[in-house]
Amino acid sequence: MKRAALGLIPLTFLLAVLGGWLGVRLGQGGADSNLGLDRVLHHDLALSKEQETRIEALEASFAVQRKALEAEMRLANHDLAQAIVTDHRMSPAAEQAIGHFHQAMRQLQEATTAHVLSMREVLTPAQATIFDRSVVRVLNADAP
């Protein structure tokens, strides 16, 4: 019995690490999609110098916010891994870590949406139409 329990410790740790990694990868999935929006913004829309300057300032500010929220997600996954390895069950510590992750992921999605909308405000109506189509394409890229 003791041997079987000891054998579960490495498996539990592996599953915790895998779960943490998947959580971060899924939470950051939007980061890869934003490359498409970045290409549209900086290459396809023929922005004026003023628009470029304003958008670059928005992007710099958002980059700081995004990094902080991604760090929160990684911390939550670390806490989840620790709870799984320590408690070997869906403990209050595991539930708290999951809640922490979901809160950070929600804040990241809300901040990303606000960022996209703030960049849109800088665009002309014609540019915004092209940008909107790109936003729809990016958000639907993984849709069934």
- Model pLDDT, residue 32: 52
- Model pLDDT, residue 56: 94
Residue 23 lies in a domain: yes
**Does pLDDT of 28 surpass 60?**
no
- Model pLDDT, residue 84: 95
Residue 98 lies in a domain: yes
- pTM comes to 0.73
Domain of 16 in residue numbering reads as 2-139
Counted domains in the chain: 1
Residue 144 lies in a domain: no
* pLDDT > 70 in the chain, percent: 76
d(CA 52, CA 39): 13
d(CA 128, CA 45): 9
Query: Which tokens go with 54?
Result: 């304003």
d(CA 123, CA 41): 9
- Model pLDDT, residue 42: 86
What are the tens digits of pLDDT across the range 38-62?
888 888 899 999 999 999 999 999 9
Residue 93 lies in a domain: yes
Q: Do the beta carbons of residue 24 and residue 73 sit within 8 Å?
A: yes
Q: Do the beta carbons of residue 91 and residue 13 sit within 8 Å?
A: no
Closest by Cα among 31, 32, 52 to 42 = 52
Strand runs labelled E in 12-133:
none
C-alpha dist (Å) from residue 59 to 52, 77, 80, 115? 10, 26, 31, 8
- Output the domain CATH number for residue 123: 1.20.120.1490
Residue 7 lies in a domain: yes
- Model pLDDT, residue 13: 42
| Greatest Cα pair distance in the chain | 71
Q: Which residue has the higher pLDDT, 18 or 88?
A: 88
